[in-house]
Amino acid sequence: MFLPDRYINGICPRCKTPDQHGDNCENCGATYTPTDLLEPISILSGKPPIQKTSEHYFFRLDKYTDQLKAWGQKSLQPEIINKLNEWFAQGLKSWDISRDEPYFGFEIPNKPGKYFYVWLDAPIGYIASLKNLSKRKKINIDEYWNHDSKIELYHFVGKDIINFHALFWPAILESANLRKPTAIFAHGYLTINGQKMSKSRGTFILARDYLKHLNPEYLRYYFAAKLGSGIDDIDLNFDDFVKRNNSDLIGKVVNIASRLSCFINKNFEGTLSSHLNAPELFTEGLKLSEKIGESYETRNFSHAVRLIMHLADLANQYIDEKKPWNISKQNPNDPAIQDICTMGLNIFRLLVIFLKPILPVLAANSEKFLQVEPLTWEDRKTQLLNHKINNFEPLMQRIDPKNIEQLLS
């Protein structure tokens, strides 16, 4: 029997990393054939394999070198461009797109025992998935994949498979006269408490297990707070996870609505005042929105989160300086209290708009509390005045460390 790809392990011929598979290196990203591996070992027998002759099919990747270079310069991250330039400098080789059985995937028509290499057909699943959706949603798939399509198309992938998506996939599309992605964004690896995911170490977490114990919005926020536009690895540190979510989302954002709504509902019939008494604070929020929007567009989510939390800090500083609770002790119906709360809740509304791409459920709950239609980015330019709000109900709960313990147990 033949030993394709992951049926054989050995030392990477380029970076010399041990225990790498027969088709590519997870450490340096190099692609090669199993015969290129140093000290190859069969994963079935644990013994060195012997070589036998077999006929295969190849894709002339080198024919698309110029197109790949031009497309990559405008569609890939700088770190990825640098990596591809290493391959371009060595010259692209023809790509072996067939495998002998035993294998999985699609058998090559009229070629018994021969299969298409998984990384030839796997990305085609993107097109197939959209075609399947088009049957239910009446989508014109040609508008998405025709060579002259004007629709923006983005891929998000792990950095370990970027070579398949940034070299092989666009070349396949070019050969089929189909459009290439507008851009491809690679992410780094995810570690848990500084360690690689491992079942034996209790650091391997399934999404379904997470959902049994924790709100998914906590994870969305934490990842957004750590994800930049580069390919750096990110660590899910649960001590930091608890502190950041409880401090930022509960302590800074939700706390604004919690603290101020009671004054409005108790003493002013749930109605906001007719003006903003600190318009410069609202203007500052609008200025920040330009930078926040730019950060979202460039996929620099961590920078967007930092700017949003800066605005939350300004809002809480304003509330702490005005101290509506002290004014209420003297006169609970003082219009100044209504003005302070109106100002604070308008900034809260801005924060909800800015966080909505990350926290859609928190946004929906906040919209219900504020009694407004689903908020859009354009709504940041408007103010909530002479408006009646609902009674406050908890928008998000603090993370209980016990839930983390149960998740990791």
Q: What is the pLDDT of residues 264-285, one digit of tens each?
A: 999 999 999 999 999 999 999 9
| Contact indicator for 344, 383 with CB cutoff of 8 Å | no
For residue 201, pLDDT beyond 80: no
Mean pLDDT (the chain, rounded):
94
In tens, the pLDDT along 108-166 reads 999 999 999 999 999 999 999 999 999 999 889 999 999 999 999 999 999 989 999 99
The count of domains in the chain is: 3
pLDDT interval class at 33 (50, 70, 90) = confident
Instruction: Tell me how long the chain is.
Output: 409
- Write down the residue that tokens 């049994």 correspond to: 212
pLDDT interval class at 104 (50, 70, 90) = confident
pLDDT at residue 24, rounded to an integer: 82
- Global pTM value: 0.85
- 309: domain range? 224-381
Considering the domain architecture, whether residues 62 and 19 belong to the same structural domain is answered as: no
Query: Hey, how many other C-beta atoms are within 10 angstroms of the C-beta on 270?
Result: 15
> Is the residue at 369 inside a domain?
yes
Considering the domain architecture, whether residues 33 and 145 belong to the same structural domain is answered as: no
**Residue 78 contacts by C-beta under 8 Å, 6 or more apart in sequence?**
none
In tens, the pLDDT along 84-98 reads 999 999 999 999 999
pLDDT at residue 185, rounded to an integer: 95
> Is the residue at 406 inside a domain?
no
Considering the domain architecture, whether residues 272 and 286 belong to the same structural domain is answered as: yes
pLDDT at residue 202, rounded to an integer: 64
CATH of the domain at 352: 1.10.730.10
pLDDT interval class at 72 (50, 70, 90) = very high
* First-to-final CA distance of the chain: 42
> Is the residue at 394 inside a domain?
no
Task: Count CA atoms within 13 Å of residue 57 on its CB side.
Answer: 13
Considering the domain architecture, whether residues 236 and 354 belong to the same structural domain is answered as: yes
**Residue 269 contacts by C-beta under 8 Å, 6 or more apart in sequence?**
388
